[in-house]
Structure formats: structure tokens, C-alpha cells
Amino acid sequence: MTQSPIKHGSPEDRGSADRYYGRPYNPHYYPEGTYKGKRVTIESLTPQEIVDYTRGYNNEEDRKDWG
């Protein structure tokens, strides 16, 4: 069974990107796509959206090489 791709801007996508770029854990997402429309912050996230962000953050194994 194949896993569906992560939607750009979704909580899981943002968690993964934050970890990749060395940013701190800060659950959020963009419902219209990455950096498009209004940013939804932790105060407005559902418990499932926080779980999705956390999964993306914790499962990102690659890191940006700044060197």
C-alpha cells in the first residue's frame, strides 16, 4: 500500500520543514498551501492537527546542511 503525499502547507508538511531547517517545535499550518493565506497557529489547531505536525517533526530524518 502506498502512502499518499503530504499536502504542502499541511500540519505534517510544516512540522517536517521546521525540523529540516532546524527551527523549533511550533505547531502551525497554512490551509491554502505553504506561506499562502492565513497561518493557523497552535491556539486554533485541533488535537489531530497537532498530532500531524508532531509526526512530521519527529519523523523528519534529513537536515539542511548550512555548511
Neighbours of 37 (CB within 10 A): 10
| 1 located within any domain | no
DSSP 8-state class, residue 40: E
Give the C-alpha separation, 58 to 38, whole Å: 25
| 6 located within any domain | no
Neighbours of 53 (CB within 10 A): 25
Range of the domain at 26: 11-59
| 65 located within any domain | no
Q: At what angle do helices 47-59 and 11-20 cross, to 10 degrees?
A: 30
- One pLDDT digit (tens) per residue for the chain, 67 residues: 556 678 999 999 999 999 999 999 999 999 999 999 999 999 999 999 999 999 999 999 998 887 8
Model pTM score? 0.88
The count of domains in the chain is 1
| 2 located within any domain | no
